[in-house]
Structure 1
Amino acid sequence: MIPVRLKLKNFLPYRGEMPLLTFEGIHLACISGDNGAGKTSIIDAMTWALWGKSRLRSKASGDDDLITQGESETAVTFDFRAGDGQVYRVERRRTKPKRSAGAGHSELSLFLVSGEEVTNISGSILSETAAKITSLLRLDYETFINSAYLRQGEADHFTELTPNKRKEVLGTILNLDIYEQLSDSAKARADQAVAAKKMLTDSIGLEQTKLAQEPEIEAALAAATQDSAGAEAGLKEKQAVLDELKRTRQLVESQRQALGQAEAGVREITGDLTRRQAELAANSQRITQYRLVIAEKPAIEAGYAGFQAAVKRNTEFSQKLMTLRQFDGQAKTLEAAVSAALNDARSTRVHWQTKFDELAARAAELPKLKAALSSLAAELAQLAVKEKHLDGLATAIQQLKTEDARIEAETASLRKQLAENDSKAKLLADSSEAACPVCETELSQDRLTTVLHKYHSDKAAIQERLDSLSASAQANELKRRQLTQELDAGATLKAERTRLTNLDARLGRDIEEAEKAAGRLPEGEKHLADLNRKIETGDFAPEERRRLAELEAQIKQVGYDTEEHRRTSETLAELEPFDRKHRELAEAEKLLAADEQARLGIEASIGELNKRLAAREQEAAELRAKLAELPVVDDAALQEAERLVAELKQQATAATRTTGVLQQNLAQLQELKKDIAAKTAEIRRQAETESIYRDLKKYFGRDGIQAALIDNAIPRMEAEANQLLARMTDNRMSLKLELQRLTRKGETTETFDIKVSDELGTRDYDLFSGGEAFRINFALRLALSRLLADRTGAPLRTLIIDEGFGTQDAAGIDKLKEAIAGIQDQFDCILVITHIEEFKDAFPARIEVCKTADGSSIQVNYN
C-alpha cells in the first residue's frame, strides 16, 4: 500500500472539510507539529478508512468518538496504490444517531481510479466491501501495526508480545493461515471418509440380514402360485351360473318396465283429459262475463270522457304549482346572497379598521427606535476595543504554553541522561576489575578516577541546567496564571457581544417595519372611506337584487288558484272508476271472439284424448298377460350366487397380490447383492481417501510446511535486524531469534525468544531498557516490514514511524537518521512523525500540522 491522496472532514482535530493532502512526489518525509496538534491523526485516518480501526477505534471507544467535537458526521477519502500498480479509492463515513438511544449510520465505498475515470467496485453490503479492501492490501490491521507502522508509544509492540503471539504475527506475515486451513480441511475430509466407511459397513450388515430370507420367500411363492390357479378355476364355474340368473332376471325386469310405462301413459292421458274438460268450463264462464260488460258500453264511454277532462285540468293546475315553488326557492337563494354580501362588507370594514389602527401605532414608534439604534452603535464601538485587548492576552498565553512544552521535553531528556550517567558511574564504582564494564578496556586507577570525575562533572552540569529550566517553568506558570485571570475576567464580553448584536438586528427590523407602516397609512384611509360609502348606499350584490325583482314579476304572471285546484281533484276522484271499466270493456270486445274460437279447439282435443286412452288401456292388458307367463327368479338364489363369486374373486386377487409381492421381494434381494458389491468397493476407496488426507493434514500442519517456512524466514529476519542494529550501535549490538529452548527438565520446547548481545554479553531482550531497547525494537520492526514487503504477493511499500526518539541522545538520533536514510530505497514512501526540531531537517519534505482555535490544519513544505 502506497498513500496517494488523503481528504478529511470533521476527523478528530480536523474540523470541516480539509484541503486535499497529496503524497505524490513524497518519498521520505516527516510529519511535525506540537503535541496534540493531530500528527498521528493523519495515520489514524488512513487505517480507519482501510480497516475501520485506529488508536481509539481499536480500544473501548466507537466510531462516534472519531467525529470532531460538536459535529455530527465524519468522512475520510483515501487514495492508495496497491501491489498491482492500480490506484484505488476508499471512502468511509460515519454519522451520529439522531436520538441518544438510536444507532448511528456507517458507509464504506471502494473505487478503481484510472486517470479521470472513477469506477465503483464496492460490495453489496459493508462487510463485502471491507473484505475486498483487505484482499487488495493482502494484510489486516493487526499485521500492519506489528510491521509497517511503528505507532506512538508502541514501538515495542512486537517484542512485548508473548512468544506464541510473536509466532502468530510472523505466521500471518508469511500467510501461513492458508496452510492451517488446508490442514483443517484435510482432517475434515479424512473424518468424512471414516464416517462414510462406518455408514457403508453398517448398511451392508443390514442388507446381508435381508438376504438370509431368500429360501423362505421362494417356498412361499410356490404355494401362492398354486392357490391362485385353484381360485381362478372355481371362479369361472360360479360366474357362469350367476350370468344365467342375471339374464333371466333382466328379461323379467324389461317386461315390468314396459308394463309400467303403459300404465303411466294411461294415467297421463286421463290427467290431460281432466284438465281439458276444466278448461272448457272456464272458457264458457269467461264468454258469459264478456257479453255482460259489452251490454253497458254507452254508459261506460260517457263516464270515461268526463274522467279524461278532469285529468287534463288537474295536470294544468299541478304544473302551475310546481312553477310557483321553483320561483319561491330561487327568491330565497337570492335574498340570502344579498344578506351575505352586506355582512361581508361590514366584516371587511372591521378588519381594515383594525389593520389601520395597528399601522398608526407602529408608525408612531419610529423616532424612538432610531434614537435607540444610535445609542447601540456607540456601545458596540467600546466593546470592540475590549475584545482586541483580550485577543492579545490569549496569544501571550499560547506562547507561554509552547515554551512550557519545550522546557518539559528538554527536562525529560536531561533526566534520562542523568539516569544513564548515574548507571554508568555505578558500574565503574562497583567494578572489582581494572577494566571498563562498558567497553571492556583496561583502566588504570588514575584513568578510572578521571572517568568518574568526568561523570560527576557532567552530572553537575546537567543538574544545573535542570534547576535553570525549573526556575523558568515556575516564572512562566506565574505569568500564565496572571494572564489567565485577566482573560477570565473578560469572559463575559462574548455574551455581551451576542446580546448587542442581537439587539442591533432587532432594532433594524423594527425600524424597517415602522417605516413601511407609515407609508401604508394613506392607502388604509382611502380603503375605509370606500367601504363606508358602499354600506350606506347599498352598493353591493347588484346582480342578485336585479334577479330578485324579475322573479317577483314572474310569480304574479303564473295565475294559480288554490280553491279551483281542490274542486278539480274531487271531481277526478269521483270519475276514476270509469277508467277501470273502460279498460275492461276494451278487453271484453278484444277477447270474446278469441275465446269462442278456442272453445271449438278444446272440444276437438277432448275427443282425441278419449281415443288415445282406449289404445293405452289395451296395451297394458297385453303386457300383464306376457309377464304372467315368464319364470320367477328367486332373490335368495341370486344373492347366494353373487356371494360365492365375490368370495372367489377376493381369493384370486389375494393370491395374485401375494405372488406379486413375493416376486418383487426376490427381485429386491437380487438388487441387494449388487448394492453390497458396490458398497464393498466404496469402502476400499474411502479407506484410500482417509490415508491420503491423513498424510496431507500432517504435511500442511504446524510441524510440516508451516515450520519449514518459519525456519527459512528467521535467518532473513535476523540478518535484516542485525544489519540495522549494527548501523545504529557502531557494531556493538546484535540479536538472535531462538525458536526452541531447553526446559528445566532438559526437554526441548517450542518458543520465540529474542536474545541480544552487546559488550556486556548475551541477555534476554527484557533486560534492556531506554534507548537501547528502542533500537532493538526499531530494528526488529523494520526487519518485519522488509519481510512483509518481499513476501510474494504482499503489496507493502510504505513505512510509518510515529515518535519514539525521545529516549535517544544526540549520537543515537544521528544513528537513527543514518538508518532511515539507509533503508529509504527499500520503500516507496517513508513517513516519520516527530516533534524533535533537530530531527526535522533530515527529511526533504515536511508535513507540518498546526493547531488553531478552529481545528488543526496541514501544510506541506520542502527543504
Structure 2
Amino acid sequence: MRVDRVRLSNFKCYGDADLRLDRGVTVVHGVNGSGKSSLLEACFFALYGSAAVPGTREDVIRTGEEDCAVELWFTHDGVDYHLERSLKDYGDRVSHDCLLEGGDASWEGPSAVDTAVTDLLRMDADAFVNCAYVRQGEVNKLIHATPSERQDVIDDLLQLGRLEEYRERASEARLGVSDVLTDVRGQRKTLVEQVEAKEDKGLHDSLNDLETELEETRSDIARLEENLDEAETTRDEAQAVLDDQEEKRETLESVAADVEELQTDIAETEREREELKSKLRDRTDELDALCEERDDLLAEADLPDATDLPDDVDADDDEALVDYRLSELESRSEALQERINELSVDIGSKTDEAERLAERAADLESEADERRESAADLESEADEAADELAELEAKLDGFDDRIEAHREAFEDAPIAFGDAETHLEDLREDREERRETASERRTEVETLRNRIEEAEELLDQGKCPECGQTVDGSPHVDSLEEDRAELESRESDLADVEAELEDLDERIDRAEDLREAERAVENLEENRRNIEQLREEKAANVEDRRARAADLREEADELDTEATETREEAERTREAADELRSDLGEANGEQAEVKAEVETLEHLSDLFGEIAATEGTVERLRDERESKAELNEERRERLSEKRERKSELEAEVDEGRVDTARAEKERAEDYIEQATEALESLESEEDELRDRIGGVRKELSELESLRADRDALDERVAALESLYDEAQDLQEMYSDLRAELRRRNVETLERMLNETFELVYQNDSYSHIELSGDYELTVYQKDGETLDPEQLSGGERALFNLSLRCAIYRLLSEGVEGAAPMPPLILDEPTVFLDSGHVTQLLTLVETMRSEYGVEQILLVSHDEELVGAADSLVHVEKNPTTNRSTVTRGERPIVGLD
C-alpha cells in the first residue's frame, strides 16, 4: 500500500491543506506543536474513522468550525483508491459520512467503509497501530506489554485467533453431538422397554372378547329408548300447559316490576335535580369570586391607555388589553435579556483579553530570554559552520548520476520527460471509454444470444420465432439467420475491444513507471536544490551570525519593553470589565421587575379562561336540570299504562289447570328418570367397551409405531457416533494447526528480530534476543547473562522496540499467505529517547527496511536534522501563531536548520 495524496479541511489545527506523498522515505518536520502528528492522524482517521483518534468526534473538528473532511488517495495491491470521510456538528449530535471508491467497486457509509478498509489491509485500527503506525510516545508499547498481551496482539495481526474460534466451534459442536447422542440412546432404551411390555399383553385376543360384549349392550339400549320416547311425549304436553300459565305469570311479575322501577326512577331523578340545583348554586358563587378577583387585578394592572393602542386592539376588551400589555412586556424582557447577554459576552471577552494580554506579556519575557540564548547559540554555531559545509558538499555527490539513471527511462519512451502524468491520465480515460464500450458490447451479445435461443426453441416446437404462429408458410423464419450473423459480428467487435483493453493495461503500466521516474527525478532535483541552497546559506558570511546575535539582544530588550506595556494594557482591560459588571447588575434588576409584572398579567389572563369555563359549566347545569324534569313527565305517562296492563294479566291466570298439568308431568318424569338411569348405565357400559376397544387398537398401532421408531433410532445412534468422532478430529486438527503456525511464526519473528537488532545495535554487549513460545522476550549478553528488555537503557530500549515493530512488519509482509501488500511504515517522533549515536542507527534501520526488505513508503515525523538530511522527500509543517492554523509545504527546510 502507498499513500499518494491527503487533503484536509478543518481537521484539528488545519484549515485547508493538500499534500502529495511519494515512495521512499518522507520526513515531516517542523517545530513542536506545529501539527506534524495531526497530519498523520488525518491519514489514520480517513482509513478507520473515529476508532483511529482519541477523544470524541467533536475534538477532531477545528475549533470554531461546524464540519471537517479528510480525503485520502492511496494505491493498494495495484489498485487506486479514493477515500473521503467527513463530520458535521449539529450541536446535539455529530453526523459521520464517508465514501470509498476503487477499481470497479464503491462503499458508502461508516460501517461499510470501515469493514472494506479492514478487509483490504487485513487489519483493524488496533492492529494498524500495533504493526505499521508507531504513534508518538508509544514506541515502548510492546515492551511494556505482558507476554499474554503481546501474544494477543501478534496472534491478531497474523489472524491466528480465527483458528481458535474454529476450534471452539468444533468443541461446542462435539459437546452438542454428545448431548444429543446421550439423549437419543436414552430414547432408544425407553422404546425397547415399551415394545416388550406391549408384546406381552395379548392385545388381539382382548379385542375379540370386547367386540362381542359391545353388540349385546347395544340391543338393550334400543329397547329402553322406545319406552322413553312415549314418556317424553306425555311430559311435553303437560309442560306446554305449565309454560303457558308460567309465561302469563312472568309477564304479570314483569309488569309489576316495571311499575315499581318507574316509581323508583321518578324519585331518583327528582333527587338528582335537587343535587344539580346545589351544584348550580356553588358554581354561581365560584363565578362571582373569579370575577371579583379579575376586577381587582384589572384595577391594579398598569394597562395601556386607549390613545396608546393600535387600531386592531379594542380598548373596551380587558382580555385584549392584557394580551397586548403582555406582548409589550415580553418584548421588553427579550430586549433586556439580549442586553444582559451582550454584557456577559463583553465581560467575558474583556476578561479573556486581559488574561491573554497577561499571558502575552509572560510570553514576551520568555521570548526575550530565548533571544538571548539564541544569540549565544549563534555565536557558537558560527565556529561550526565551516565543518558543516564540507558535510553538505559530500551529500551533493552522486545526485546527478541518480537523476540521469531515472531520465534514461524516457530514452525509448513514446513521450518526452515531463509529460508522463498527462499521458497516464489520457490512457486511463481511454481505458475507461473502452471499458464502457466493452460493457455495451457484452450486453448486446447477451441480448442476441437470448433471442436466438428463444427462436431456436420455438422452431423446435414448429412455431415462428417472431409471431409465434406455425412455421408452415410463415415469411418471418429467415430473421433467425440474420440474428446469428449479427451475433457473430458483435462477438468479433467485443473481442477487438477486449484486445484493445489488454493493450491499454500494458501501456498504463508503462506510463505509471514513467510517472514514478518523473517524480523521482523531481524529488532528487528538489532535494539537490535544497542542499545547494543550504550550502550557499551556510557558506554566507559567518560574521552575519554574530551580527544577528547582536540584533537578537536588541530585540530582547525591545521585547522586555513591550512586555511592560502589555501588562499595563491588561490592567486597563480588567478595569473596563468591572465597569461592564455594574451595567449588568442594573439590567438584571430591571429584568426582575418586568418578570414580576408578567407573572401578574399571566395570572389575570388565566382568570379570563377560568371565568369562561365556569360560565359554560353553569349553563350546562341549568340545561341538565331542565332535561331531567322533562324525563320524569314521560315516565309518569308510562307508569299509568303499566298499571292498566297489570290488572288485565291478574284476571287471565288459572291455578286449576296448572295443578292437573303438574301431576301428569310428575308421573311422566318419574318413569323417565328411572328409564334414563338404566339407559345411562347401559350407555356407560357401551362407552367403556368402545374406549377399551379403542385403547386396544391404539396400543396395537402404538406397538407398530414404537417398532418403527426403535429402528429409526438405531440408525440415528450410529450416525451420531460417527459425527461425534468427526467433530473431535476437527477440534484436534484446529488446535494442532494453531500451535504449529504459532511455533513457526515465533521462530520467524525471533530470527527477524535478531537480524534487525543486530543491524541497528552495533556493539559487543549483547549476543542475541530470544522470543519464547509464550511471547516472553529475553536479551542475552555476550557473557551468557540474561536481561529483561526493561533493563536496557532508554535509547537501547527504544531501538529494541523499533526493531520489534519492524520485525513484526516484515513477518506480516513476508509470512502471511506469501508476500502481502502492507501499509506504509509510519514512525511519529521515533527519536524522543535517542541520542545522536542512536539516531544514526535508526537511519540504518530505516534504510534497510526500504532497500533490503522492500518497504515502498516510510513516513517519519521528526525535527531531527540528521533525519531531515537523509530523507528522499521533505514535508514542512508550520503553525501561524495568530490564527493558530497549520500549513504544510513540500521541500522546504525549517528556519532553525538554516541558522
TM-score w.r.t. the length of structure 2 is: 0.49
Matched AA of 1:772: E
Amino acid of the residue matched to residue 855 of structure 1? N
- SS of 1:8's partner is strand
Counterpart of 1:506 in structure 2 is none
| Alpha-carbon shift at residue 847 of structure 1 (Å) | 1.7
Distance 1:674 1:480, change over 3 A: farther
Which of 722, 725, 730 aligns to 1:691? It is: 725
Matches within 5 A, 1:221-620: 222-223=205-206, 225-236=208-219, 239=222, 242-243=225-226, 483-491=562-570
Structure 1 residue 637: Cα displacement = 6.8
Post-superposition offset of 1:30? 0.7
Counterpart CA distance in 1 for 2:764 and 2:788 is 16
Q: How does 1:15-414 map to 2 (within 5 A)?
A: 17-23=15-21, 25-52=22-49, 57=54, 61-71=55-65, 73-83=67-77, 85-93=79-87, 95=89, 97-98=91-92, 104-113=93-102, 119-122=106-109, 126-127=110-111, 129-215=113-199, 217-218=201-202, 222-223=205-206, 225-236=208-219, 239=222, 242-243=225-226
1:231 match: secondary structure: helix
Give the Å deviation of 1:149: 1.6
Cα distance, 1:109 vs structure 2: 2.6
CA 1:406 to 1:652, structure 2 compared with 1: closer, same or farther past 3 Å? farther
1:781 is aligned to 2:781 = no
Is 1:819 aligned with 2:845?
yes
Query: Following TM superposition, by how much is the alpha carbon of 1:246 offset from its aligned partner in structure 2, in angstroms?
Result: 5.7
Change over 3 Å in CA distance of 1:95–1:165 after alignment to 2: same
Deviates more, 1:846-855 or 1:479-488: 479-488
Aligned to 1:565: none
Q: Secondary structure at the match of 2:870?
A: coil
Secondary structure class of the residue paired with 1:860: strand
Instruction: Point out where structure 1 has 5 or more consecutive residues left out of the alignment.
Output: 99-103, 258-342, 349-389, 412-471, 499-632, 741-748
Change (3 A) 1:406 1:239: farther
Whether the 8 Å CA contact 2:214–2:690 is kept in 1: the answer is: no
Q: CA deviation at 1:191?
A: 0.9
- Separation of aligned partners in 2, 1:751 and 1:666: 69
* 1:851 equivalent in alignment to 2:879: yes
The residue type paired with residue 670 of structure 1 is E
**Structure 2 SS opposite 1:11:** coil
Distance between the aligned counterparts of 1:393 and 1:223, measured in 2?
115
Q: Any conservation in 2 of the 1:738–1:751 contact (CA below 8 Å)?
A: no
Structure with max Cα Rg = 1
Letter in 1 for 2:884: G
- 1:576-624 CA-partner distances (Å, limit 9, x unpaired): xxxxxxxxxxxxxxxxxxxxxxxxxxxxxxxxxxxxxxxxxxxxxxxxx
Report if the CA contact (8 A) 2:368-2:556 is conserved.
Answer: no
Matched pairs, number: 522
Residue in structure 2 matched with residue 713 of structure 1 by the alignment = 745
Query: Is the contact made by 2:757 and 2:800 (CA closer than 8 Å) also made in structure 1?
Result: yes
Does structure 2 retain, via aligned residues, the 8 Å contact 1:186–1:693? yes
Percent identity reads 20
Secondary structure at the aligned position of 1:780 is classed as helix
Choose 474-483 or 130-139, whichever is displaced more. 474-483
| Contact 1:63–1:94 (8 Å) recurs in 2 | no
Contact 2:47 2:117 survives alignment (8 Å): yes
Alpha-carbon distance in structure 1 between the residues aligned to 2:570 and 2:53 = 33
CA distance in 1, matches of 2:215, 2:746: 93
Displacement of 1:792 in angstroms is 2.6
Q: Say which SS state the counterpart of residue 62 (structure 2) adopts.
A: coil
| CA distance in structure 2 between the aligned counterparts of 1:76 and 1:657, rounded to whole angstroms | 83
CA contact (8 A) 2:232 2:668 kept: no
Matched, 1:828 2:811: no
Contact 1:76 1:93 survives alignment (8 Å)? no
Q: In the alignment, what sits opposite 1:523?
A: none
Indicate the residue corresponding to 1:792 in structure 2.
817
Asked if structure 2 preserves the Cα contact closer than 8 Å seen for 1:30 and 1:834, the reply is yes
2: distance between equivalents of 1:184 and 1:163? 22
Q: 1:387 maps to what in 2?
A: none
Gaps of 5+ in 2: 241-305, 312-358, 381-550, 578-666, 893-899
Secondary structure of residue in 1 paired with 2:98: strand
Alignment of 1:711-750 (within 5 A): 711-730=743-762, 732=764, 736-740=768-772, 750=774
Q: Cα deviation per residue 1:114-137 (whole Å; 9 max; x = unaligned)?
A: 5xx994433xxx556533432232
The answer as to whether partners of 1:40 and 1:833 remain within 8 angstroms in 2 is yes
**Cα RMSD after superposing both structures:** 5.0
Alpha-carbon distance between aligned partners in 1 of 2:86 and 2:552, rounded to the nearest angstrom:
44
Q: 2:830 corresponds to which residue?
A: 804
Q: Aligned equivalents of 2:697 and 2:373: distance in 1? A: 106
**In 2: Cα distance, 1:83 partner to 1:494 partner:** 61
SS of residue paired to 1:13: coil
1:493, CA displacement in angstroms? 9.2
3-state secondary structure, aligned to 1:213: helix
Q: Please list the CA deviations of residues 532-574 of structure 1 after superposition, one character each: whole Å capped at 9, or x if unmatched.
A: xxxxxxxxxxxxxxxxxxxxxxxxxxxxxxxxxxxxxxxxxxx
Residues 156 and 477 from structure 1, CA distance in 2 versus in 1: closer, same or farther, beyond 3 angstroms? farther
Separation in structure 1 between the aligned mates of residue 374 and residue 792 of structure 2, nearest angstrom: 28
Change beyond 3 A, Cα 1:729–1:231: closer
Question: 1:36 and 1:736 mapped to 2: Cα distance?
Answer: 39
Q: TM-score, normalised on structure 1?
A: 0.51
- What's the CA shift for 1:184? 0.7
Change beyond 3 A, Cα 1:634–1:182 = closer
* 3-state secondary structure, aligned to 2:216: helix
Distance 1:210 1:851, change over 3 A: same
Helix, strand or coil for the counterpart of 2:34? coil
Query: Match of 2:19, as an amino acid?
Result: L
Asked whether the 8 Å contact 2:368–2:559 carries over to 1, the reply is no
Structure 2 Cα separation of the partners of residues 822 and 234 of structure 1? 108
Change (3 A) 1:216 1:714: closer
Q: Deviation of residue 242 (structure 1)?
A: 4.9
- How far did residue 660 of structure 1 move? 1.4
**Closer/same/farther in 2, CA of residues 132 and 56 from structure 1, 3 Å limit:** closer
